[in-house]
Structure 1
Amino acid sequence: MTGTDTLKTRRTLVVDGDEYEYYSIEAAQKAGLGDVSRLPMSLKVLLENLLRYEDGRTVTVDDVMAMGAWLKERKSTREIAYRPARVLMQDFTGVPAVVDLAAMRDAVAAMGGDPRTINPLSPVDLVIDHSVMVDNFGTMTSFEENVDHEFQRNGERYAFLRWGQKAFDNFRVVPPGTGICHQVNLEYLSQVVWTGKDGNRTVAYPDTLVGTDSHTTMVNGLAVLGWGVGGIEAEAAMLGQPVSMLIPEVVGFKLTGKLREGMTATDLVLTITQMLRARGVVGKFVEFYGPGLDNLSLADRATIANMAPEYGATCGFFPIDKEALRYLAFTGRDDKRVKLVEAYAKAQGMWRDEKSPDPVFTDSMELDLDTVQPSLAGPKRPQDRVLLSDAAASFGKAMAEIGASGKQVPVKGADYKLEDGRVVIAAITSCTNTSNPSVLIAAGLVAQKALAKGLKAKPWVKTSLAPGSQVVTDYLEAAGLQKSLDQVGFNLVGYGCTTCIGNSGPLPEPIANAVDEGDLLVCSVLSGNRNFEGRVHPQVKANYLASPPLVVAYALAGTMKLDLTTEPLGTGSDGKPVYLKDIWPSNKEIQDAMEKSLTAEMFKRRYANVFQGPEQWQAIDTPESLTYSWDDRSTYVKNPPYFKGMSKTVEGGFSNVSGARVLALLGDSITTDHISPAGSIKKDSPGGSYLMEHGVPPAEFNSYGARRGNHEVMMRGTFANIRLKNEAAGNTQGGFAKYVPSGEVMSIYDASMKYQAEGTPLVVVAGKEYGTGSSRDWAAKGTNLLGIKAVLAESFERIHRSNLVGMGVLPLQFKDGDTRKTLGLTGDEIIDISGIGTGISPRMDVPVTIRYADGRTKQITALCRIDTADEVEYFRNGGILHYVLRNMVKAA
């Protein structure tokens, strides 16, 4: 876990009678780094990481010194190797990682080795939170019924994860029905300062992580540096390999003042999201500072940090201070840990108080908390903030833009009609707000006051409450507010992501039929972080993000056409109109209810058995075995072919590519969404055909996300996006390719299988910015399984390029002004890639010969985008998993 420490920075810290070793930033300053006291706190975390892992190879002294240079230039072009302390996964993205681990164990056994040598080298926590759906709502049995449905749908996946929970060391599974991974991470898993053994010494270092979910950033609110990555990067980190990254620019966000009466953390985060999106912070760190931090609870900070993906930043970091210590103690962290966090932060210059000088940032902006106003965001994007007072008028404009039918449709079996603007989903959901007691207590108080006035949710609204942890239920019940929420319509439906990720479940059939009959523009209001069109529910075109108390208010109103600031929500039992101001709680009421109901004991009790799970989880019959007993009949979990026939050692490992065909000829800005399988599985697609051939009816297809553990389904969905244009197949739209020998146009998957059957290697040729967008492991895994040996593009997105290398696919970049257009490529050519059979050096020139259909040949030079010595070794071994596997076998 440590390097050679060339700069001699290792020191001893004594806390409460215990000794800890640590890598001192102060010592590095004296060793030549220079004064970095005003380096952003987030970069100090990266600096410590470099000091700890400096070995002269993956991390050099020059990398360390680059941090000092950053302070002078306020930016850097240096790429560094960063090793997070741990990995966080959710179940959709975690399943393929565990599949790969299980396959590695099989490969070791096939080589005659001990499967027990294969375990995560960095601690991994997988939280099952993405699979619960809101099938049932509005009753006292909704939770139990939804959990039953969840286990029925996901039995194969859960049995596999249950096996992994038992089989692997350094790997923990938080079972279904416990909470959302980010809230569990915030309330329990995170330690702020992590510790590990180096021989007989205990080393203390910042708690850092990568997660397979973009909202991993939530824990930045607790001064834990972490962000979301794709599956391949997460697997690499899990197996002890560094994450390659540029030293980022850091935008400082200064907060001053204090939120006014009635304002919520949601109002604040929507304001910040709009500001940062307008400024442009993609690929950058954002760090919050200033006196306004003293007026934000840890939960408020976590709300802001959570939405970093929505404002575009890699992370939204808050420093360690008294509030962080208070939160750690209150949520049941060990007293010794809390003392260590304070002592370590002060020793490393990572402590914030009123005396702390402002860090130096690349850029900065400022917000006075006193200026925040009640807000929503919608109808399509989280950065499209609208004032509550303007929401009705704004929706009127959206109706015109989106297109509204203007119809009123009677609802079968009911005494009301549906029309455009009706709120048909009101969901208190998502990690963003359900980690924050102030807004959940506020929602409960709104429900309580509304009930007292005689108001309930409108009958056409599908209401749901899906907290991020079981602690929420405890304090809502202790405050006497859960009963009020139940009576208004917000019964507990599950502990998971639900509506925010599209697991909103079906609308009641009469409502759904009315929406379709009138082609109505209906709405959802949710306390989530994403509201993209089609994400929440396919029948709901307009979606608004709002605080939990506003979610309750819109359920009472039942429409987006109402101005909640001036018009009544409804008529009370006394016959008088009830306005939002009549049921909105004061800050004092919220604070008093929190102090009365929320206790540290709740966190200790709920997390004491966090890995145990409900009865359904414990009842899963999984044999305890070192290797997994793959079920050939399973359509969810399959043994991938990555390691088939793999040897203990690799000789040479490089080979030229001769006689390759162009499977796809693509334009600029091909995203990982174009490449990677996502969303629903169509009946007439190769993936749908496969499932039906294996006895799965279309109604049970589930999604590509749920079937990520089955490479047969996923490879059939690679390059199958309906928006993908393949110039080699007559500019067809969708996942089509031309099988050149016959001229037949067919699915990319079918063409790949025909080429592979005859031993023909394949390449993809593309334009600029190939692989932009979210990092998706199957964009690289699927490319590999389709027999694609190389991708030749004008430029690459950084992470997808490294993912291709990690899966043994050669990334080549056009040089000297060459493009697919200047070369006149049509996709009928044969491609030969030479000069790599004798070995590869980083960023070497590679000769590429193009053989045209008319008999002409042309040789060009391409740049090999295997950029580092480590990547050369990954590629030589056939991929990063092969490299790690062989090293584990060698070390055993």
Structure 2
Amino acid sequence: MRDALAKLGSDANKINPLVPVDLVIDHSVQVDVARSSNALQSNMELEFTRNRERFGFLKWGSTAFQNMLVVPPGSGIVHQVNLEYLGRVVFNTDGIMYPDSVVGTDSHTTMIDGLGVAGWGVGGIEAEATMLGQPMSMVLPGVVGFKLTGKLRNGVTATDLVLTVTQMLRKHGVVGKFVEFHGEGMGKLSLADRATIANMSPEYGATMGFFPVDHVTLDYLRLTGRSDETVLFDSQNKHELCVYVKTVSMIEAYLRANNMFVDYNEPQLERVYSSYLALDLDEVEPCISGPKRPHDRVTLKDMKSDWHACLDNKVGFKVKPWVKTSLAPGSGVVTKYLLKSGLQEYFNKQGFHLVGYGCTTCIGNSGELHESVSAAITENDVVAAAVLSGNRNFEGRVHPLTRANYLASPPLVVAYALAGTVDIDFEKEPIGVGKDGKEVFFRDIWPTTEEIAEVVQSSVLPDMFKSTYEAITKGNPMWNQLPVPEASLYSWDSNSTYIHEPPYFKDMTMSPPGPHAVKNAYCLLNFGDSITTDHISPAGSIHRDSPAAKYLLERGVDRKDFNSYGSRRGNDEVMARGTFANIRIVNKFLGGEVGPKTIHVPTGEKLSVFDAATKYKSEGHDTIILAGAEYGSGSSRDWAAKGPMLLGVKAVISKSFERIHRSNLVGMGIIPLCFKASEDADSLGLTGHERYTINLPTDVSEIRPGQDVTITTDNDKSFTCILRFDTEVELAYYNHGGILPYVIRNMAAAQN
């Protein structure tokens, strides 16, 4: 953006965050080394070796831009760091107090809602515009009231609760809505439990799952060392970013004065919501979720039968168990209280050594399986399973070879690791045999709620948080040794396979391009329901036979150095080739065949999606995508919109969109359209082999948010869709070819 502004004859330094920005580098660590006492150091060294160029670019940004705090790699996961350190609850800026709020470039930003901070995920594209002062526009959401009563029973965890809540809310339908939890049962949930429920907002589809501030929130602020005045200080730019309110009591006084504090000792007013749900916490059962979606809840007692149902009862095979174990905490504080409690010693004995601080399994960085295990799975078509205490189990995410992936609480992960299989009924079958020769059952090792509370009370201490976060911006030796060029513009290296100047602003002028005509476009892909951003966006490992692998090999990169798509997200050439490259993607063109291929309609050739898109572009043809319901559910990945734009996709026609992905498509200038109610591609007789013309006015002033649009095909079909530009502001973005060109032109015009 700075380069683009400079080319338009304006001051490039105007591209600078206008609001406080916190950047936590947490998605690049991989579990290469596990079950080893030196796993943490080894994985960090490999992380820095692989990502040296990328980290250098990010460190340059930490000095080139103002008003931005960069938390170096190896510090933890952004959402936990936000919860334990960055979240303010109440701001005090120059004597003016106001409630804290945040938007983040990851959909699980919602974890902060558990602290009473209003926050949700937006696309990276939208966030970049917000950093530069562009207001966020959205349709006023409905608010679902979720009343909690009672108390969780012994042996029931926050994960069991959140999977139950997720299933209820998905069934209720909360896409694009706010969920607010209330009721006396809320007071029985710890802050960590609330954060777990709030974290899963994307999985149940809500914009956020909010917990108002009460005594539990205040106790957590004291526990995490926020009692005294704390200054967030950027050591690179030598200036204060913000100051916390002096004391927790002042936060309480401010919120009480504004009727924003929940006191269970006072009469509770009946709240008015758009719709209502209720749950008695006492009725929650131990459960897990899978094998492919977070809202497919399975009670623990039904897991064995559900597992066999997943296999279609075709096999009762037995494979020699091989479990890859890893522990990647969300912050350094976790290590301190695991050591204090004595738990880490026993985790190590079971192979759960500390492997790194950051998103590993959730982002597809769980590392490779042993070669013999991989070979056994592939050669024998084994249905391998993974059990993880994360929030992402979409297809192909955890590892390409684990087809069944279950979300579970951390202690359940350990239990399944001990069992070595998911093909077990914990109520009836033993996990194993003890040294005394006696069978050991699940109930024998499961702690009571009181035992857990006692360990937390004695082992999770305020000083742990204070000492960890006092030094968090100081980095580590590997980060600190990275050289940083002193320049306001970045010097692009044309040979780099990590950082590449993207083409978004190529040949950009001050005049907006206006609405683009979509005439006689071919269908690139024809999808059914529940295509997630994991299917669309490049994620996880780079498959050895993929277009991205071919690109890297041609540039002298060895297979062992491919790294992950997440680590190469700064190179558009790699990411465009990885778009729609998920090995579990199902495209109707292929008649049931699973994989990242499609049909080039004019010739009938079966090609990789990237090669087909490139062929269409070289022939001068636009492309569109047909899809079913919930298109783009999952993480708030801006590459799920950037990638299709680079492939030449001009429009997506679906039954419905997930909120963030629709916004991202608009941000990249792609037209989102929805079929009319009760209609879809199948009911309209569309096969995807047709050519599509979208009859939109060429003058943006004649286009209205939500208007009906007629689409015609070359075989004389005609149908009406709803234009999903939801606000006038989004129409302005579309007129400019996307949100970022809109911002750049406005900034250049204001300066000139």
Pick one of 211, 216, 220 that aligns with 2:113: 220
Answering whether residue 739 of structure 2 is matched by residue 880 of structure 1, we say yes
Answering whether residue 552 of structure 2 is matched by residue 691 of structure 1, we say yes
| Alpha carbons 2:331, 2:357 under 8 Å: kept | yes
Matching residue of 1:614: 476
Matching residue of 2:158: 265
Q: Is the partner of 2:742 in helix, strand or coil?
A: helix
Q: Deviations over 1:860-879 (max 9, x none)?
A: 99986655432343234332
1:608–1:847 distance in 2 versus 1, CA, 3 Å: closer
Instruction: Give the deviation of 1:753 after TM superposition.
Output: 4.9
Q: Deviations over 1:346-394 (max 9, x none)?
A: 2322111122313122332333333334333344444444444454455
Instruction: Give the deviation of 1:118 after TM superposition.
Output: 0.7
Matching residue of 1:636: 498
- Identity, in percent, stands at 52
Q: Is the partner of 1:204 in helix, strand or coil?
A: strand
Instruction: Give the deviation of 1:827 after TM superposition.
Output: 6.4
Matching residue of 2:210: 317
1:517–1:843 distance in 2 versus 1, CA, 3 Å: closer
Instruction: Give the deviation of 1:106 after TM superposition.
Output: 1.3
| Alpha carbons 1:290, 1:358 under 8 Å: kept | no
Pick one of 368, 371, 377 that aligns with 2:283: 371
Answering whether residue 56 of structure 2 is matched by residue 194 of structure 1, we say no
Q: How does 1:581-620 map to 2 (within 5 A)?
A: 581-620=443-482
Q: Is the partner of 2:137 in helix, strand or coil?
A: strand
AA aligned opposite 1:601: D
Matching residue of 1:807: 668
TM-score by length of 2: 0.84
Q: Is the partner of 1:462 in helix, strand or coil?
A: coil
| Alpha carbons 2:652, 2:670 under 8 Å: kept | no
1:737–1:170 distance in 2 versus 1, CA, 3 Å: farther
Pick one of 694, 698, 704 that aligns with 2:565: 704
Pick one of 179, 187, 190 that aligns with 1:286: 179
Distance (Å, rounded) in 2 between the aligned partners of 1:870 and 1:221: 31
Pick one of 721, 741, 762 that aligns with 2:622: 762
| Alpha carbons 1:874, 1:883 under 8 Å: kept | yes
Answering whether residue 359 of structure 2 is matched by residue 466 of structure 1, we say no
> Which structure would you say has the larger Rg?
1
Matching residue of 1:26: none
Q: How does 1:5-404 map to 2 (within 5 A)?
A: 104-196=1-93, 202-335=95-228, 336=246, 338-354=248-264, 355=266, 356-395=268-307, 397-398=308-309, 400-401=311-312, 403-404=314-315
Pick one of 377, 381, 391 that aligns with 1:529: 391
Q: Is the partner of 1:182 in helix, strand or coil?
A: helix
Instruction: Give the deviation of 1:293 after TM superposition.
Output: 1.9
| Alpha carbons 2:388, 2:406 under 8 Å: kept | yes
AA aligned opposite 1:764: I
Q: How does 1:441-590 map to 2 (within 5 A)?
A: 461-515=323-377, 519-532=381-394, 534-565=396-427, 567-590=429-452
| Alpha carbons 1:182, 1:216 under 8 Å: kept | yes
Distance (Å, rounded) in 1 between the aligned partners of 2:294 and 2:688: 41
Instruction: Give the deviation of 1:469 after TM superposition.
Output: 0.9
Q: Is the partner of 2:391 in helix, strand or coil?
A: coil
Q: Is the partner of 1:706 in helix, strand or coil?
A: helix
| Alpha carbons 1:677, 1:718 under 8 Å: kept | yes
| Alpha carbons 1:672, 1:776 under 8 Å: kept | no
Q: Deviations over 1:525-578 (max 9, x none)?
A: 332233345433344444443332333333334344554445554444445554
Matching residue of 1:451: none
1:544–1:866 distance in 2 versus 1, CA, 3 Å: closer
| Alpha carbons 1:830, 1:852 under 8 Å: kept | yes
Which moved further from structure 2: 335-344 or 318-327? 335-344
Instruction: Give the deviation of 1:463 after TM superposition.
Output: 2.6
AA aligned opposite 1:182: H
Pick one of 492, 509, 514 that aligns with 1:654: 514
Instruction: Give the deviation of 1:399 after TM superposition.
Output: 6.6
Instruction: Give the deviation of 1:218 after TM superposition.
Output: 1.4
Distance (Å, rounded) in 2 between the aligned partners of 1:830 and 1:386: 42
Distance (Å, rounded) in 1 between the aligned partners of 2:82 and 2:187: 23
AA aligned opposite 2:260: M
Distance (Å, rounded) in 2 between the aligned partners of 1:822 and 1:278: 27
Which moved further from structure 2: 532-541 or 318-327? 532-541
1:292–1:625 distance in 2 versus 1, CA, 3 Å: same
Q: Is the partner of 1:401 in helix, strand or coil?
A: coil
Distance (Å, rounded) in 1 between the aligned partners of 2:417 and 2:46: 26
Distance (Å, rounded) in 1 between the aligned partners of 2:174 and 2:722: 30
Aligned length: 726
AA aligned opposite 1:361: Y
Distance (Å, rounded) in 1 between the aligned partners of 2:637 and 2:81: 24
| Alpha carbons 1:654, 1:840 under 8 Å: kept | no
AA aligned opposite 1:498: T
Distance (Å, rounded) in 2 between the aligned partners of 1:864 and 1:521: 42
TM-score by length of 1: 0.72
Q: Is the partner of 1:692 in helix, strand or coil?
A: helix
Matching residue of 2:642: 781
| Alpha carbons 2:2, 2:15 under 8 Å: kept | yes
Distance (Å, rounded) in 2 between the aligned partners of 1:645 and 1:498: 38
| Alpha carbons 2:89, 2:116 under 8 Å: kept | yes
Q: Is the partner of 1:525 in helix, strand or coil?
A: strand
1:556–1:888 distance in 2 versus 1, CA, 3 Å: same
Distance (Å, rounded) in 2 between the aligned partners of 1:770 and 1:565: 36
1:217–1:744 distance in 2 versus 1, CA, 3 Å: closer
| Alpha carbons 2:515, 2:734 under 8 Å: kept | no
Matching residue of 1:713: 574
AA aligned opposite 1:716: R
1:253–1:770 distance in 2 versus 1, CA, 3 Å: closer
| Alpha carbons 1:739, 1:745 under 8 Å: kept | no
AA aligned opposite 2:284: V
| Alpha carbons 2:30, 2:360 under 8 Å: kept | yes
The CA RMSD over aligned residues, in Å, is 4.1
Pick one of 277, 296, 317 that aligns with 1:406: 317
Distance (Å, rounded) in 1 between the aligned partners of 2:467 and 2:150: 36
Distance (Å, rounded) in 2 between the aligned partners of 1:823 and 1:255: 46
Matching residue of 1:869: 728
1:583–1:826 distance in 2 versus 1, CA, 3 Å: closer
| Alpha carbons 1:177, 1:496 under 8 Å: kept | yes
Distance (Å, rounded) in 2 between the aligned partners of 1:516 and 1:677: 22
Matching residue of 1:624: 486
Greater relative contact order, per chain length (Cα 8 Å cut-off, separation 6+): 2
Instruction: Give the deviation of 1:164 after TM superposition.
Output: 1.5
Q: Which runs of 5+ in 2 are unaligned?
A: 229-245
| Alpha carbons 1:662, 1:827 under 8 Å: kept | yes
Distance (Å, rounded) in 2 between the aligned partners of 1:859 and 1:393: 47
